[in-house]
Structure 1
Amino acid sequence: MQNLFISFLRTVVPYGVALVLTATGWLGIPVDSEAAASAVALGLGAAYYAVFRGLEALAERMAWRPLQLAAGLLLGWARPPQYEKPAVLPLRFQLDMDAMQKDLAAMRRVLGVDEDRR
């Protein structure tokens, strides 16, 4: 359940920041209509997320922990959610011709199909 909260938070925070930046006019982008403001906020939110998620991934590759934490905090949570990998089990089939013939014969008996009409 915690991973769901973290992923939600890391998605909502960039768009909240974008709405604040758009509404206050802090970036100096003139917005005349509500539709334009929504489009600008959506674009800013996506750009914000992309920049800080990219910085976080780059810092992880470079093993630069302070930048990774700072980028994560600016996304709403210091670390990305850790999802568990599903268990993978090998599945093996063995085709046994004799067993298959017995199953087919039993099915023919149930259906009432004669062996001679095949």
Structure 2
Amino acid sequence: MPALFISTMRTAVPLVAGWLLSLAVQAGLDIDSTTVTGAVTVALALAYYLAFRVLELAGTRLRGTALQNLAGVLLGWARPPAYPSVNDGLPPLTGNSYTSVS
């Protein structure tokens, strides 16, 4: 489930940031049809992404590769993203592991 949250946030944050930047460029709080259209577009894009990511995860957990592949294709890529676990990172540095260059 953490991968779903991470991948959703990686999609939602740029969409919201772009929308907020477009509002900042206008430098006003007038709510016109363009602003409403932008907000609805962001909300629908996030709902679409989240719906198909949940279906993709359900297909993975139920070992239903057809469901997983269909949801993946509708997201633009047939496989879900794979994020490295915390344990796959670099080993921790020790006090004497840094060497200087002369």
Deviations 1:33-86 (A, max 9, x none): 111110110000010011000000011000000010000000010002334442
Gaps of 5+ in 1: 1-6, 16-31, 94-118
Q: Describe the shift of the 1:90–1:39 C-alpha distance in structure 2 as closer, same or farther (beyond 3 A).
A: closer
* Equivalence for 2:4: none
Partners of 2:35 and 2:89 in 1: how far apart?
A: 46
Larger-gyration structure (1/2):
1
Question: TM-score, normalized by length of structure 2?
Answer: 0.52
Q: Per chain length, whose mean CA-contact separation is higher, i.e. which structure has more relative contact order (CA < 8 Å, sep 6+)?
A: 1
Partners of 1:92 and 1:64 in 2: how far apart?
A: 45
1:2-81 equivalences under 5 Å are 11=11, 33-81=33-81
Which aligned runs of 4 or more in structure 1 are off by greater than 6 angstroms? 90-93
Shift in Å, 1:88: 5.8
Root-mean-square deviation (Å):
3.0
Gaps of 5+ in 2: 1-6, 16-31, 96-102
Identity of aligned residues (%): 46
Deviations 1:75-100 (A, max 9, x none): 0100023344424647899xxxxxxx
Equivalent residues, number: 66
